[in-house]
Structure 1
Amino acid sequence: MTTASKPQGEKASSLSSSKSPETPLYIKVIYMTLNIIVACGIVFANKIVFAVYRFKFVTTLTLIHTIFTWIGMMSLEHLGFFERKKFTQWDVAPLALGYVGYVVLNNLSLNLNTVGLYQILKIAITPAVVVLEFLLFRKVQTTRILMAVMVVCVGVTAAAVTDKVAISNLIGVAVGLASVVVTGLYQIWAGSKQKELQANSSQLLLAYTPQAMAILAVLVPMLDDVGFTHPGHDTVLGFRYTPSAIFAITVSGILGVLVSLTTFLVIGATSSLTYNVVGHSKTVLILAGGCLIFGEAMPWKRLLGVIVTMTGIVWYSYLTIQQAGKPQPTVESNGDAKGPSENSPAENGGETEPFLQAEKADTKV
């Protein structure tokens, strides 16, 4: 593993000094607008691939997305958005496994559930991370943060139990909950690895995507009906790849790369705080899109649950941002136990992009 020529703090300081003051307001607005469009667009594009074109091969689609991600991250590194860092294969192998697990389960959740329930369950990642950090590291949050997390849990539960589709689709709910747990574990793991290897998530993502592609290539024939012997219409090889279907799959892959790019641009031109706030607007738009594009119902009871959820997540974000502004030692029941790094994606209110975790990244714009 190579080390950077500058200390992390010095490097981050030099980068931050060249960020927002030189960026005109209209450029910031453009970056944020683009990020919102592509982040919402990838959810809708993936759902269209699953629901409209009936491309039900989740592992295959994840492999396609990962290939696009690897090409995109290579391009971003070449353009100077971040610096490549070398690691041993053993350093990043656990992250590759975690990445495969969380992306496959998230895509499967989107395939089996409505867009609204999928997004609500993603918000549940925040309380899941809080619980997992306590179980794994005995890390105890402040009373106010725990209260905010409780509000999120109440809202998510209310939104889920009032969803008639969710009640009749227990398998989808089970997969969604599994994706919440696995994503939470992955985020904690990734945060710990960032601290351990002194690297940001972009450097790690570029390093472990080749391993992730290899793992997915092995899993595709095990989890998807490839159709090596009988390539029927319900197999990967026999699927009717019409021009429109190919276009939809390609667009979903490109949008994943654009999510990564626009995340860099927003954080580079503004701050991770701004990105955090923008993330809440994405949640609202995705929920609205589920109703407008896919005709999902939004009865007042479910809407009330969504409002409670958003209130809790905004409160949680405010408290964590406030806490980051004036550092305080985290209360731990075991003084030797250490939790994940402060760059944990959980700070983004459970907003989990399929290809890049938002962080206080080193960003060149």
Structure 2
Amino acid sequence: MQIAIQERRRANDALAWIFNVASSVLIVFSNKMLMDPKWGYKFVFATTLCALHFFASAVAVKSFEAMGFSPKASMPFSEKLYFSCVAATSIVSLNLSLLMNTVGFYQVSKLLIIPFICLVEYVSYKRGLKSVSLFLCILLVLVGVGIVTVTDVSVSGLSVLGISIAALSVVSSGMQQILCGQIQRSNNLSSTQLLSNTAPVQGLMLLIVGPTLDWLITGKWVTQYEASIPSMQCLAVSCAIAALVNISQFMCLGRFQAVTFQVLGHTKTVLVLLMGWMFMNDVITYKKLIGMMLAVTGMVSYGYLNSLISVKT
């Protein structure tokens, strides 16, 4: 009986992960079509788009509740506001970091999210890595993804403000992922129930700051966008896929530790690069190929070793 329950749980975990990876890869290409200034629909307002994505997610989960597919549940307003503020800060600071820093430094700062999560979980919850082997796997993933994504790490263009914004993006992104699983467990909420409580608040927060932030980045206001029927159709598809991404991400963060989610999440980076090469004529150099091989080796090894340790405990 116990074995059957464990097998069912592993199957559900695998389905949640596949759901998240597939939707996350799809959203990259739908957003590229929507936002690309050369051959896409030139909707370059990233933060406003994030606000629309959260509103779409809220509509989706509220509809599930209205149809009886998902039971309603509430959470303390203070926790709802706290989580929404952290999540909104993560999105805004990531966009500002990309604006104020080089692409290379931006990518390096994103790689620091895993060490930050490890540090917080060890200090706050006494939850460290279970073996040296897992640490080496994480290091291999970081090196591989770094080789793939980091172009230049020039210090000449850095400023104190830019570094501060990058640090804020690391802290807020890491805390969002930790809080997601923690709040679900402490309030006994499902992934859709947590999303139902927080998505409308996050959407409202981002809609308030989004147009101004997008103007700072692009020099244009979202109200100046020349919409068309095809661009609005693409926007609708982007919002629909984003709802799937948010639902699946909350599912995964409720099931996996934040570190595991981050490590295996780099699967999306590798898949996006491969699909760009296969369908969009992107070039994969030997450097990128080596980086992808290292990252995949690290991810597979981490997943295998972590499953062995989980079985023993």
Alpha-carbon spacing, 1:32–1:200, altered in 2? closer, same or farther (3 Å)? closer
Residue of 121, 133, 138 corresponding to 1:144: 133
- 1:17-69 residue CA offsets vs partner (Å, 9 max, x unmatched): 9969xx9xxxx99x998765533211111122221222221221111111101
Is the 2:57–2:247 Cα contact (8 Å) retained in structure 1? no
Q: TM-score, normalised by structure 2?
A: 0.72
2:33 aligns with: 48
> Any residues of structure 2 matched to 1:173-212 within 5 Å, and which?
179-212=169-202
Alpha-carbon spacing, 1:149–1:204, altered in 2? closer, same or farther (3 Å)? same
Instruction: Give the match's secondary structure for 1:139.
Output: coil
CA-CA distance at 1:91 after TM superposition: 2.2
Which residue identity is paired with 1:156? V
Separation in 2, partners of 1:124, 1:283: 16
2:212 aligns with: 222
Which residue identity is paired with 1:244? P
Residue of 100, 125, 134 corresponding to 2:122: 134
- 1:115-145 residue CA offsets vs partner (Å, 9 max, x unmatched): 9x99998776444422332354453212222
- 1:267-296 residue CA offsets vs partner (Å, 9 max, x unmatched): xxxx98xxx899776544212123345544
Is the 2:90–2:172 Cα contact (8 Å) retained in structure 1? yes
- 1:186-219 residue CA offsets vs partner (Å, 9 max, x unmatched): 1112222223222233221111122212212321
1:213 corresponds to 2:198: no
Instruction: Give the match's secondary structure for 1:237.
Output: helix
Is the 1:53–1:245 Cα contact (8 Å) retained in structure 2? yes
Which residue identity is paired with 1:60? T
Separation in 2, partners of 1:201, 1:233: 37
Alpha-carbon spacing, 1:150–1:18, altered in 2? closer, same or farther (3 Å)? closer
Separation in 1, partners of 2:98, 2:110: 10
Alpha-carbon spacing, 1:213–1:37, altered in 2? closer, same or farther (3 Å)? closer
Is the 2:23–2:245 Cα contact (8 Å) retained in structure 1? yes
Alpha-carbon spacing, 1:233–1:291, altered in 2? closer, same or farther (3 Å)? same
1:326 aligns with: 312
1:360 aligns with: none
Alpha-carbon spacing, 1:127–1:290, altered in 2? closer, same or farther (3 Å)? farther
Alpha-carbon spacing, 1:177–1:77, altered in 2? closer, same or farther (3 Å)? farther
> Which is worse superposed, 293-302 or 255-264?
255-264
Residue of 265, 269, 274 corresponding to 1:288: 274
Separation in 2, partners of 1:111, 1:49: 20
CA-CA distance at 1:304 after TM superposition: 0.7
Which residue identity is paired with 2:199? T
Separation in 1, partners of 2:154, 2:293: 20
Separation in 2, partners of 1:313, 1:68: 32
1:83 corresponds to 2:71: yes
Is the 2:64–2:70 Cα contact (8 Å) retained in structure 1? yes
Which has a greater percent of helix? Answer: 2
1:157 corresponds to 2:146: yes
- 1:315-354 residue CA offsets vs partner (Å, 9 max, x unmatched): 2222333333333xxxxxxxxxxxxxxxxxxxxxxxxxxx
Q: Give the count of matched residue pairs.
A: 295
Separation in 1, partners of 2:99, 2:229: 21
CA-CA distance at 1:233 after TM superposition: 9.4
CA-CA distance at 1:81 after TM superposition: 4.5
Residue of 212, 228, 234 corresponding to 1:242: 228
Unaligned runs of 5+ in 2: none
Separation in 1, partners of 2:100, 2:281: 16
> Any residues of structure 2 matched to 1:342-357 within 5 Å, and which?
none
Separation in 2, partners of 1:315, 1:177: 29
Alpha-carbon spacing, 1:130–1:112, altered in 2? closer, same or farther (3 Å)? same
Separation in 1, partners of 2:100, 2:283: 16
Separation in 2, partners of 1:295, 1:168: 32
Instruction: Give the match's secondary structure for 1:190.
Output: helix
Which residue identity is paired with 1:133? E
CA-CA distance at 1:259 after TM superposition: 3.8
Which residue identity is paired with 1:235? W
> Any residues of structure 2 matched to 1:100-119 within 5 Å, and which?
100-104=88-92
Separation in 1, partners of 2:251, 2:191: 15
